[in-house]
Structure 1
Amino acid sequence: MSASVSSAQSFAGPKGKRLYAIGDVHGRLDLVDDLLGRIEDDIADRPVDTAAVVFLGDLIDRGPDSAGVIERLQSLKHFPARMLFLLGNHEEFLLRALAGEAGVAHDWLGFGGDTCAESYGIAVSALQAMDDQRIAEILRAAIPETHVAFLKTFGDTFAFGDYLLVHAGIRPGVSIEQQQPRDLRWIRQPFLSDAHDHGCMVIHGHTISDGIDRRTNRIGIDTGAYRTGVLTAAVIEEDDLRFLATGLQPALA
């Protein structure tokens, strides 16, 4: 489904280009396939010279098939748009656990990483008594090197005309060039409640809202896909902004 949003706003994407920004997936391969199908149909119905799809991060954890999501996206071919990926806090956590960083693995498992590990055939109950280094060894043995290499290619931001795409948000009052990766991947407050002009429209995931969370300076599109079945994409084309989604069309929050 799609819906146009009409309001007076002065933000625009580059001329002749279209961008689809997709919110947090969290292991829902079924919804990824559904939404990519809708995007393919949208491109066929509304041809455009240049199209890109940007996943805003948190492809993994919480939902049932993190492994399937990564495999599908890292091997996707012949899609009628360029594919780009941002690193979410969940991917960051997994990479840190894979590196054997002290104190990370058990936190990751309790943070939704248990379902990710299970999707790679790991018995999570067996990990509980292990230390970080042993868990890292188990993870490295189970997760294909191509999947890890794919995650390591993910960026932190993507600028598209007057829009800035990030996973979590930005630190208000700090220039885009000076933003820290931790904020880009983890921030909630003071970003969510800040109403100041950032000099761009920030499109982000990370914080679940009941519908599309549209404010004067940001648009949140994490509609809780892993538990709601609603995976949302913001579609930017010059001065037009609309939305595609799986399941029931998310309302504006």
Structure 2
Amino acid sequence: MIVGESEGILLQAVRRLLVISDMHGQIDAFNALLEKAEFDASEDLLFLLGDYVDRGQNPKAMVAKARELEKKGAIVLKGNHEDMMEKALIGRKTESLAHWAANGGAQTLSSYGLDFKFVYQNIESDSLKLPDELLDDLSWIEQLNVYAQTEHYIFVHAGIDPDKKIEDTDEETFLWIREPFFSGYHGDKIVIFGHTPTMNLQQSCDIFFGKNKIIGIDGGSVFGGQLNCLELPSKATFSV
């Protein structure tokens, strides 16, 4: 997905770009962060880099918020947790469901009024009927893009393969990669990514500014860190 050409007119009209990732159901913190950054959908272009579901207080509400913001112009990308959710609930395999549950999927099911044990016991049965709201959100997740780029930036959940052209990269890489992206990226565009908590890249939860044009914004808020927002092109930061 290239935010350019016809969208270039849009970029010229916006005041700034704002980027947030890895909300993990923390709807209150996310709303507080938008308020702190003074987000205005009529003036700012918001990029959300995935992981709306799992672990936090209300994944369902976070998905609803992401969808609402998308309708107002936000660029909303898929994360690896949406990928796990998709594989578990659309693929209907106990192994995939167990993998998702081990990474916070039970909290997501609960937010839709479902008990994990019941779903696990019936996931491969035609008798399991998922709520319409959940099915609708799954359809939305299926069509999400895995990266976006502008003239100067690449936005992605986990990173990119430093040795491949972006158009030749598989979806799994965009959603899951860590190394060799961190140390091996050498492209001209700045890559903004989430997925890896920044405390794994430095000694704080603040936004990580790599020397090789990579910027990590996942503050690990669901692990006791903070939720970060990056402003571009100023590189100002906000956190809650």
Using structure 1 for the length normalisation, give the TM-score. Answer: 0.78
Please give the secondary structure, in 2, of the residue aligned with 1:108. Answer: helix
1:65-214 to 2 correspondences below 5 Å = 65-76=58-69, 82-102=73-93, 103-128=95-120, 130=121, 132-134=123-125, 137-138=128-129, 140-141=130-131, 143-194=133-184, 196-210=185-199, 211-214=206-209
Q: Kindly tell me: are residues 93 and 143 of structure 1, through their superposed partners in 2, closer, same or farther at Cα, counting changes over 3 Å? A: farther
Partner amino acid, structure 2, of 1:29: I
The number of residues matched between the two structures is: 221
The match for 1:227 among 198, 223, 229 is 223
Partner amino acid, structure 2, of 1:108: W
Distance 2:29 2:126 in 1: 30
Q: Which residue of 1 aligns with 2:29?
A: 31
Q: Which whole-Å deviations, capped at 9, do the CAs of 1:36-93 have from their partners, x for residues lacking one?
A: 2234x2559xxxx8521111000101112101111223235996xx212111011011
Distance 2:132 2:70 in 1: 24
Q: Which has the higher helix share?
A: 2
Partner amino acid, structure 1, of 2:136: T
Q: Which runs of 5+ in 2 are unaligned?
A: 1-10, 200-205
Partner amino acid, structure 2, of 1:26: H
Partner amino acid, structure 1, of 2:29: L
Distance 1:200 1:19 in 2: 15
Please give the secondary structure, in 2, of the residue aligned with 1:137. Answer: coil
- Higher RCO by CA contacts (8 Å cutoff, separation 6 or greater): 1
**Post-superposition offset of 1:165:** 0.3
Q: Which residue of 1 aligns with 2:214?
A: 218
**Post-superposition offset of 1:16:** 5.0
The alignment's C-alpha RMSD in Å is 2.5
Percent of aligned positions that are identical? 27
Out of 152-161 and 87-96, give the one that drifted further: 152-161
Q: Is the 8 A contact 1:232 1:243 kept in 2?
A: yes
Distance 1:135 1:59 in 2: 28
Q: Which residue of 2 aligns with 1:251?
A: none
Distance 1:158 1:57 in 2: 12
Partner amino acid, structure 2, of 1:21: V
Please give the secondary structure, in 2, of the residue aligned with 1:193. Answer: helix
**Post-superposition offset of 1:148:** 2.1
Please give the secondary structure, in 2, of the residue aligned with 1:169. Answer: coil
Partner amino acid, structure 1, of 2:239: A
Using structure 2 for the length normalisation, give the TM-score. Answer: 0.82
Please give the secondary structure, in 2, of the residue aligned with 1:151. Answer: helix
Q: Is the 8 A contact 1:100 1:132 kept in 2?
A: no
Q: Which runs of 5+ in 1 are unaligned?
A: 1-13, 247-253
Please give the secondary structure, in 1, of the residue aligned with 2:198. Answer: coil
Q: Which whole-Å deviations, capped at 9, do the CAs of 1:121-179 have from their partners, x for residues lacking one?
A: 11223344x154249935x2364333223223311111123110000001111111212
Distance 1:134 1:106 in 2: 16
Q: Which whole-Å deviations, capped at 9, do the CAs of 1:155-205 have from their partners, x for residues lacking one?
A: 1111123110000001111111212111000111111232x4222111000
Q: Is the 8 A contact 1:100 1:136 kept in 2?
A: no
Partner amino acid, structure 2, of 1:199: D
